[in-house]
Structure 1
Amino acid sequence: MHEFLVEITTTIPEGTSQEEVDRLRAAEAARARELAATGHLARLWRPVGELRSIGIWRATDENELHEKVLGTLPLRPWMTPRVTPLEPHPNDPGNGFSTR
């Protein structure tokens, strides 16, 4: 699988009831757990005070990421994703990089 840095901005349409927002957020949390269990969602952060998330996502390619992963998120119609494909860095400490 390939890794992608995905920044997602969520914009809730005006006039959307709080009940609908709460329902979709609960469905979103459940789907995120499923995607994490299958290895598609590796990490997820939210900048303080923003309706934006930054995450490390995994898929076989960018097409799968958009269609079969991000496209399955309940809040997807309200999301604007920015995807950056990633590749390993030779100095990544997580890959056993040593200063010796």
Structure 2
Amino acid sequence: MLFHVEMTVHLPNDMPEDMAAEIKATEKAYSQKLQEEGTWRHLWRVAGSYSNVSIFDVEDNEALHRILGGLPLFPYMEIQVRPLCRHPSSVRDDDR
């Protein structure tokens, strides 16, 4: 199943810089692993904000929930999830 996920990060202003840097580095490694596996299919930054728009390709809602809950930045995120399905007017034969 494909999901459109918007994530906005709200780190506390008083979070020490070294702690923020460590969380971000761990998050980057985690997200890149999922991208290489094909689970996190697309990742775009939203210009002018600390947020992204992503497309996930997972088995079901529970799988997506586990992935999002495993994000090191998850406790500091506002997340919106939208399930996707093929549009009948699409000229593509697959979801790639």
TM-score when scaled to structure 2?
0.89
The residue number in structure 2 matching 1:15 is 14
Identity of aligned residues (%): 32
2:41 aligned partner, one-letter code: A
The residue number in structure 1 matching 2:90 is 92
Q: In structure 1, how many angstroms separate the alpha carbons of the residues matched to 2:89 and 2:26?
A: 38
Size of the aligned set, in residue pairs, is: 94
Query: 3-state SS of the aligned residue for 1:13?
Result: coil
Pairing 1:6-85 to 2, within 5 Å after superposition: 6-67=5-66, 69-85=67-83
Q: In structure 2, how many angstroms separate the alpha carbons of the residues matched to 1:57 and 1:66?
A: 11
Q: Which runs of 4+ in 1 moved over 3 A?
A: none
Q: Which of 1 and 2 has greater Rg?
A: 1
Unaligned runs of 5+ residues in structure 2 are: none
TM-score when scaled to structure 1?
0.86
1:66 aligned partner, one-letter code: H
Q: In structure 1, how many angstroms separate the alpha carbons of the residues matched to 2:90 and 2:20?
A: 39
Q: In structure 2, how many angstroms separate the alpha carbons of the residues matched to 1:95 and 1:47?
A: 28
Query: 3-state SS of the aligned residue for 1:94?
Result: coil
C-alpha RMSD of matched pairs (Å): 1.4
